[in-house]
Structure 1
């Protein structure tokens, strides 16, 4: 029932003029902001103040913008059936396409390292529609109806969908020359590697670096940002290759740190587009002596 309701709403959204669709998205975002708990708002504001060195008033504005933007994002996801290979260029412009093409020419597949900034769903869909063999590695939604809905739209856009638990499938697809898309900016309390993020140690997913090292595959950082006119720009960086030594753990840590710094630099340029409502520093690093701690955060 829920699945069919969302599909019906999606059809209605696709019929709306672009300006009306954008206005409704902003309205939805503004209406949802009061529903964000005071505890989560406080956490976001504190993290923004500490990370960006701004005052509480500026941090509040950024936290609010970070939350409100989910309204337009939701409308853009509902609009995805309107997007095709023929018209995707009108909605998403790609800067740095040559970097992803160069990575694929190596013949070892590629890992796309991205973050929860901008409309990351649109990033994957647009790359697939531009002809790149993208595999979306996703988290299974607790709501089965919404899980089916979003995966259906991902597949229609041309993406292959696999869940995070499917490591063997990821390796197989990577060896077949596919692009494995991974989000690597959320707290990983189970098997993350601690690297510096905004001058604090953060437990970070090591999947991108681990996959890159395993298959000697290039890792391509990529993001998407919204433009004032409602269109988007995908930003693709030059690829990174894991320098392989006898110390696998250190190879992964060094590469993860490098990728995390690229993510941090992007967030600094577009702070309102990152998901500040997530507690990125939730997992504490293990007890270390002061000398080790100082060495890691320099």
Structure 2
């Protein structure tokens, strides 16, 4: 798989951006309208999240565009050894991140699967401060090797974990160096509680809120949206103000709900850039 992906990356590197856009549109139509891959799930997710805002035909258009944007994100990452993934990123709200770093405690970035998150991590590390993201392995050995080599090339840093406890120790070390930890909020682990997400209970990752209780630092939401192939805008929001009480368990739940609301605000702004393929509302 590593050799196949490397050859595919070399091939994609020779394809003009205008062609990539057309190819991505064709693949989106193929996957969504013809093969109908996970179409029912995506349609259901959009109805739950945005049924009060968009008509059914509008939600279908958003779904199709989200497939296209995901394909483009994949293309941009696959060929990133040949085309700098962070070269054409405009940033809005950079001062929010720099002001948070000035406190000297390190910074958490509340991030999620909207826009090209790989380009976001690369841009922040290369232009502001080292940004380390908690991620999972991607596929089998060959595929994961390809992904990790691309990430190393892009200076997309990730928190390496071998055994239980490694992750938290690495996070503390990163923050103590006044660097950045990106925490992907919109994936839930088994056993997580159901908390409101677009008004409907969904399994919600509470580990971020729990980690923040143990090692506090400013939390800055940030996300990407696409202007065109290879060109993006990084939006950095003001730091979130979290209030604490004597009830740590309740604080973790309340903070996790607040994080969900931050995701909602960004998704409502750019629904066609969101990765709707996650089964957030599964029973």
TM range (shorter): 0.7 to 0.9
What is aligned with 1:48?
A: 46
CA deviations over 1:114-139 (Å, ceiling 9, x no partner):
11111112211221222321002111
Deviation at 1:198, TM superposition (A): 0.7
The 1:243/1:116 distance shift into structure 2, 3 A limit, reads same
What is aligned with 1:296?
A: none
What is aligned with 1:155?
A: 152
Q: In 2, are the aligned partners of 1:196 and 1:257 still within 8 Å (CA)?
A: yes
Give the alignment of 1:220-231 within 5 angstroms: 220-228=220-228, 231=231
Deviation at 1:235, TM superposition (A): 0.6
What is aligned with 1:135?
A: 132
- For 1:163 and 1:207, locate their aligned partners in 2 and report how far apart those are by CA, in whole Å: 17
- For 2:12 and 2:194, locate their aligned partners in 1 and report how far apart those are by CA, in whole Å: 42
Is 2:9 the partner of 1:10? Answer: yes
- For 1:210 and 1:13, locate their aligned partners in 2 and report how far apart those are by CA, in whole Å: 41
Deviation at 1:245, TM superposition (A): 2.6
- For 1:11 and 1:228, locate their aligned partners in 2 and report how far apart those are by CA, in whole Å: 21
Q: Which runs of no fewer than 5 residues in structure 2 stay unpaired?
A: none
What is aligned with 2:97?
A: 100
What is aligned with 1:31?
A: 30
Q: In 2, are the aligned partners of 1:115 and 1:223 still within 8 Å (CA)?
A: yes
Deviation at 1:248, TM superposition (A): 1.3
Give the match's secondary structure for 1:282.
Answer: coil
Q: Which runs of no fewer than 5 residues in structure 1 stay unpaired?
A: 284-298
TM-score (norm. length: structure 2) = 0.88
Q: Which of the pair has the greater relative contact order for Cα pairs under 8 Å at 6+ separation?
A: 2
Of residues 217-226 and 240-249 in structure 1, the stretch that sits farther from structure 2 once superposed is: 240-249
Name the count of aligned residue pairs.
Answer: 276
Deviation at 1:241, TM superposition (A): 4.3
What is aligned with 2:142?
A: 145
- For 2:21 and 2:152, locate their aligned partners in 1 and report how far apart those are by CA, in whole Å: 24
The 1:46/1:29 distance shift into structure 2, 3 A limit, reads closer
Deviation at 1:76, TM superposition (A): 0.7
Instruction: Tell me the C-alpha RMSD between the 2 structures.
Output: 2.2
